[in-house]
Amino acid sequence: MTQGFSFSQDACDGAARACTYSTPHGVIRTPCFMPVGTQGCVKGVFPQTLAASGASVVLANTYHLLLRPRLEVLERIGGVRAFMRWQGALLTDSGGFQALSLQDLVKVEEGGIVFRSHIDGTTLHLTPELAMHAQRSFDSTIAMALDECVPSTSSVERLRTAVERSALWAERSIAHWRKENIEGKERALFGIIQGGLNLALRRLSIERTLALGFDGYALGGFAVGENAPQRNAMLERVAPMLPANQPRYLMGVGKPRDLVESVACGIDLFDCVVPTRSGRTGQAFCFADEDTDTTRLATRNLRNARYKNDVQPLEQTCPCPCCEQGFSRAYLHHLVKAGEMMASMLLSAHNLFFYQRLMTRTREAVCEQRFAKFFDSVREQHDDGHNPDA
């Protein structure tokens, strides 16, 4: 474990874990959900609100930050944390996912990824070495090795190419990371496992990546083609192959039920745009009751006319700015229908608070050895955000 970091398992219940990950930028208690601030900003949410929600880590993206505001600006200011006025930990993705999400603007070569900027068409050649240098300059608490992400349902040949390329880039990433190591500025570097839904390739990727000695390991290539049962079946097999004494991070998976199902497989860290993206489309994630032993979940679509005269807050006991100030469902319905910016801000904040509360309840269930009961209630009551409003 890199100096300044420590990782310990506090409790387990089956494969589910509750861990403590201490970093130079604060303590991360798992299971942990990391809000996504791609460009150094979680959309529509103040850093103070993120901190108040209980978030201990925010995620930003290397590709996007290299394009805007650019590396030289962030180096001069002192990194992303100083730039966005965030006091907690920062995890930066390397930009490998954008090779998939922006594939029409991308050419993947053995040396790295050549992007045609989605902003102005200029060329960015993202190599493992540049990704490492940039993330160290960003003052990232946790940096990610550069990988190639492909759809999980790709052909065996395509998956194998991505696994081999990701392994070679991982070697270059960790070599450059160690070369640029600066006394007193220790940061963690995670490796990324690829292989899609092919167990043999996942195992190969794990063997190649673990041999390099990263500080933690991420499972990439999920939520890019497979369904939830396929994902869970693979997670049940591969999560136990990762070191028990290091963090396990599932990249990009993030509906409420998905998180709890993944915790059941032994995953510690998560990120996803779902809470803020849902907030911007008028959806609120809620607890349908106050019983923390059996958690019924509900998704409320504030566009629904049923809320037009509903004077209740989204939740009675939620501490988010939306609920705490007593904004009614009727008012939120009005803001959403009127297209007011405040609707997105209030609902995004509420959803982020909900996610942190869900992770806290999940951790408590693990620590109190009642995770199975908790897990069953979540699976029965929540249907991936599409269940009828509670």
Q: Which residues are catalytic?
A: 93, 271
Burial of 11 (0-12, 13-18, 19+ CB in 10 A): middle
| Peptide bond before residue 31 is cis, with ω within 30 degrees of 0 | yes
Q: How far apart are CA 131 and CA 280, in angstroms?
A: 31
d(CA 122, CA 74): 19
d(CA 166, CA 168): 5
d(CA 244, CA 8): 9
| Euclidean distance between CA atoms 192 and 185, whole angstroms | 23
Instruction: Scan for tokens 């190419």, then name that residue.
Output: 161
Closest CA to 187 of 133, 140, 221, 231: 140
Rounding to the nearest 10 degrees, give the CA dihedral for residues 26, 90, 261, 95.
Answer: -160
The helix (run of H) or strand (run of E) holding residue 110 is: none
Instruction: Yes or no: say if 264 and 12 are a contact pair by the CB < 8 Å rule.
Output: no
